C-alpha cells in the first residue's frame, strides 16, 4: 500500500489506510526530501537538521505523530513536538524558524480519518515536485522490494523533544496582527470543534479584549472532533449566539485553519461573504495588493458580481488552498480564500488561519461600528447554490472515458441555465466522492438540476 497527495496532504482512515507502518515510511521519505540529515556513514552535519511536528485532538493523532517522528528520526532528523496546535500555528513556527514541518490532522473529517500535512522549510505548502519526490521515495520504502535496514545509530539518529513555549508564541503573533487595536466591548461565542482551536482560540480572542461569553465544543475526547459542531455544522453556535445576544459567533474546523461566522441574528456568514467583507475593507484602506482577490471555482457567482461593482478584480483557481497560495505568491497579491472559510492573509501568514481570520473579522466589525449582520448582508447577494456529495467506487473515474454520460448531462444543464447559473462537477481531493454543485436563479431550480446530475453520476460511476 502507498499514499498519494491530495489537495491538502495525504489522508485516509487511520489504522487501515493510514497505518503506523506507512506513516513511519512517510516520515523517512519526508526526511530525505525536506530534511538534511547525517550521511550514511553517520557523520553529523554542521548543525542538527530539525523538523517540527504538531497534531490535532483526534484519537489516532498521537499514534501517527509518534510514527512520523520515528521515521524522521531514523533518517537523522531531530524532531520538535509542538503538541496540540492549529495547523497555522505549526506553519507560523516553521516560518519563524525556517524549518520544515508536519501537521497530523484530517481537518474537518470525522475522527476515524486522519492525515499528514507537510510544509517545506519556512512553513510553505509543498510544491508538486516535492510531493512527487516524496511519493517516489515512499514507494521505494514500502514497495515489492522495500529498502533494507537503516544505517544510522548513536547520535547519528534524530532526537525527539518538545517545545511548550510554541503555543504562547503563536498566540502572541495572532494578537499582534491587530497592530495594537483592541476589541473591548464586543461579545462573541466560539465553537472550537473539539479540535486544535481548543488550545488557542479563547486565549487569543480574550487577549485582544473581546469577551468570550461561551466556548462550545471545547472539551475534546479524541472522538468528538467535528461531531455536530465546528465550521461544518454551525447550528449549535447560531443558537448560542441568539441565547447570549452576542455580537458574533466563530466556528473553526478540526485543525483551525478555517472559520465560519454567525451574525447577531443567528445567520451563518460563509467564506464567500467573509472574503467579500475583507476584500472591500482592504481596498478602502489601500491594503488590497493589485486590487485583486483570489478565489476558487467553488466561489458563488454572486461574489463575482459584487466584487465587480466594488472595483475588485477576481482571480479564480482550482479548488484547494494550495492553488490560492500559488496565485497569491506568483502575483504578489495579499488576500484569497475559499467558500469553506479557509481565508489567507498573505502578508500575515503562510497558510489559512481560522482564528486569525476570526480576530480580523471582529476588528472589522469594531472599526465599522455596525453589526455584522448588516455588513454581511450588504456585501453580496448570494445566488442559490446546491452542493451534493456522491459516493463512488473510484473518484478519478469521473475524468475517464466511461463518464461521458455524466458530462453530457452537465452540458445539458449548463445550456438550460445559460448565464443565469453554472454547474461544477469534480472529484474530491480527499474522499471517495464526486462533488456536484449547481447555482441557479432559485433554490428549486438549483436543487432539481443537482438531482439530475446526482442520478446520472450514481448510475454511471457507483
Residues 122-161 have pLDDT tens digits of: 999 898 899 999 999 998 888 766 666 667 889 889 999 9
The pLDDT of residue 359: 98
Q: How many domains does the chain have?
A: 3
Q: Which of 101, 132, 131 is nearest to 119 (CA)?
A: 101
- The answer, yes or no, to whether residue 40 has pLDDT greater than 50, is no
Active-site residue flag, 267: no
Instruction: Provide the percentage of residues in the chain whose pLDDT is more than 70.
Output: 95
Asked if the structure places residue 3 within a domain, the reply is no
pLDDT band, very low/low/confident/very high, at 320 (cuts 50, 70, 90): confident
Asked if the structure places residue 211 within a domain, the reply is yes
Check whether residue 372 and residue 389 sit in a common domain: no
Sheet with 433-439, strands from edge to edge, namely: 385-391, 433-439, 422-427
Check whether residue 72 and residue 191 sit in a common domain: no
pLDDT band, very low/low/confident/very high, at 51 (cuts 50, 70, 90): very high
The pLDDT of residue 9: 84
Q: Is 92 within 8 Å of 45 (Cβ atoms)?
A: no
The pLDDT of residue 319: 86
What is the tens place of the pLDDT at every residue in 326-384?
999 999 999 999 999 999 999 999 999 999 999 999 999 999 999 999 999 999 999 99
Tell me which of 330, 352, 379 is where a domain ends: 379
Asked if the structure places residue 349 within a domain, the reply is yes
The pLDDT of residue 146: 61
Distance of CA 395 to the CA centre of its chain: 21
Least confident piece of the model among 6-20, 55-69, 76-90, 177-191? 6-20
Instruction: Provide the percentage of residues in the chain whose pLDDT is more than 90.
Output: 82
Residue range(s) defining the domain that contains residue 317: 187-379
Check whether residue 448 and residue 371 sit in a common domain: no
- Kindly list the distances between the CA atom of residue 38 and the CA atoms of 32, 66, 146, 149, 207, in Å, as whole numbers in the listed order: 11, 21, 21, 16, 43
Strands 113-120 and 160-162: unpaired
Tell me which of 318, 347, 379 is where a domain ends: 379
Check whether residue 194 and residue 275 sit in a common domain: yes
Cell numbers linked to 156 = 547519528
Q: Which of 107, 334, 340, 357 is catalytic?
A: 107
Tell me which of 118, 141, 168 is where a domain ends: 168
Give the CATH number of the domain where residue 295 resides: 3.40.120.10
Check whether residue 253 and residue 162 sit in a common domain: no
- The answer, yes or no, to whether residue 407 has pLDDT greater than 90, is yes
Check whether residue 95 and residue 210 sit in a common domain: no
Asked if the structure places residue 173 within a domain, the reply is no
Check whether residue 351 and residue 251 sit in a common domain: yes
Sheet with 259-263, strands from edge to edge, namely: 211-216, 187-191, 248-252, 259-263, 268-269
Asked if the structure places residue 178 within a domain, the reply is no
Asked if the structure places residue 4 within a domain, the reply is no
Check whether residue 365 and residue 444 sit in a common domain: no
pLDDT band, very low/low/confident/very high, at 43 (cuts 50, 70, 90): very low
- The answer, yes or no, to whether residue 6 has pLDDT greater than 90, is no
Check whether residue 318 and residue 403 sit in a common domain: no
Q: Which of 117, 106, 6 is nearest to 60 (CA)?
A: 106
The pLDDT of residue 144: 65
Check whether residue 340 and residue 220 sit in a common domain: yes
Averaged pLDDT of the chain: 92
Check whether residue 399 and residue 263 sit in a common domain: no
Sheet with 292-296, strands from edge to edge, namely: 313-317, 292-296, 335-337, 343-345
Check whether residue 337 and residue 198 sit in a common domain: yes
The pLDDT of residue 3: 72
- The answer, yes or no, to whether residue 41 has pLDDT greater than 50, is no
Q: Which of 385, 372, 170, 357 is nearest to 275 (CA)?
A: 357
Q: Which of 145, 159, 92 is nearest to 350 (CA)?
A: 92
Amino acid at each position: 500500500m502507498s499514499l498519494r497527495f491530495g489537495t491538502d496532504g495525504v489522508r485516509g482512515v487511520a489504522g487501515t489506510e493510514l497505518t503506523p507502518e506507512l506513516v513511519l515510511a512517510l516520515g523517512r521519505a519526508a526526511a530525505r526530501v525536506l530534511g538534511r540529515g547525517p550521511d550514511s556513514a553517520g557523520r553529523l552535519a554542521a548543525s542538527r537538521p530539525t523538523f517540527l511536528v504538531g497534531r490535532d485532538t483526534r484519537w489516532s493523532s498521537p499514534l501517527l505523530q509518534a510514527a512520523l517522528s520515528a521515521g524522521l528520526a531514523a533518517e537523522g532528523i531531530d524532531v520538535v513536538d509542538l503538541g496540540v496546535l492549529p495547523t497555522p500555528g505549526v506553519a507560523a513556527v516553521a516560518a519563524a524558524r525556517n524549518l520544515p514541518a508536519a501537521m497530523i490532522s484530517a481537518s474537518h473529517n470525522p475522527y476515524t480519518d486522519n492525515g499528514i500535512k507537510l510544509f517545506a522549510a519556512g512553513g510553505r505548502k509543498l510544491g508538486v515536485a516535492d510531493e512527487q519526490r516524496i511519493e517516489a521515495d515512499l514507494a521505494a520504502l514500502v514497495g515489492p522490494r522495500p529498502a533494507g535496514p537503516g544505517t544510522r545509530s548513536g547520535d547519528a539518529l534524530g532526537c525527539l523533544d518538545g517545545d511548550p513555549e510554541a503555543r504562547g508564541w503563536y498566540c502572541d503573533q495572532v494578537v499582534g496582527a491587530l497592530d495594537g487595536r483592541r476589541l473591548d466591548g464586543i461579545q462573541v461565542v466560539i465553537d472550537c470543534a473539539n479540535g486544535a482551536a481548543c488550545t488557542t482560540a479563547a486565549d487569543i480572542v480574550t487577549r485582544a479584549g473581546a469577551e468570550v461569553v461561551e466556548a462550545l465544543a471545547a472539551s475534546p475526547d479524541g472522538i468528538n472532533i467535528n461531531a455536530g459542531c465546528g465550521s461544518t455544522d454551525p447550528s449549535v453556535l447560531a443558537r448560542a449566539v441568539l441565547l447570549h445576544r452576542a455580537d458574533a459567533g466563530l466556528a473553526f474546523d478540526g485543525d483551525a485553519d478555517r472559520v465560519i461566522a454567525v451574525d447577531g441574528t443567528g445567520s451563518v456568514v460563509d467564506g464567500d461573504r467573509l472574503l467579500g467583507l475583507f476584500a472591500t475593507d482592504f481596498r478602502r484602506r489601500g491594503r488590497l495588493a493589485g486590487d485583486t482577490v483570489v478565489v476558487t471555482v467553488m466561489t458563488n457567482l454572486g461574489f463575482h458580481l459584487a466584487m465587480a461593482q466594488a472595483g475588485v478584480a477576481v482571480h479564480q483557481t482550482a479548488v484547494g488552498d494550495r492553488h490560492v497560495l500559488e496565485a497569491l505568491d506568483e502575483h504578489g497579491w495579499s488576500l484569497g480564500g475559499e467558500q469553506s472559510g479557509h481565508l489567507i492573509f498573505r502578508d500575515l501568514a503562510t497558510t489559512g488561519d481560522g482564528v486569525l481570520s476570526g480576530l480580523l473579522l471582529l476588528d472589522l466589525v469594531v472599526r465599522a461600528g455596525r453589526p455584522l449582520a448588516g455588513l454581511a448582508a450588504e456585501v453580496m447577494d448570494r445566488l442559490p447554490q446546491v452542493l451534493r456529495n456522491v459516493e463512488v467506487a473510484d473518484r478519478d473515474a469521473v475524468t475517464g472515458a466511461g463518464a461521458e454520460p455524466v458530462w453530457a448531462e452537465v452540458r445539458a444543464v449548463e445550456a438550460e441555465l445559460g448565464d443565469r447559473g453554472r454547474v461544477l462537477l469534480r472529484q474530491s481531493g480527499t474522499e471517495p466522492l464526486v462533488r456536484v454543485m449547481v447555482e441557479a436563479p432559485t433554490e428549486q431550480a438549483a436543487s432539481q438540476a443537482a438531482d439530475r446530475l446526482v442520478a446520472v453520476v450514481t448510475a454511471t460511476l457507483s
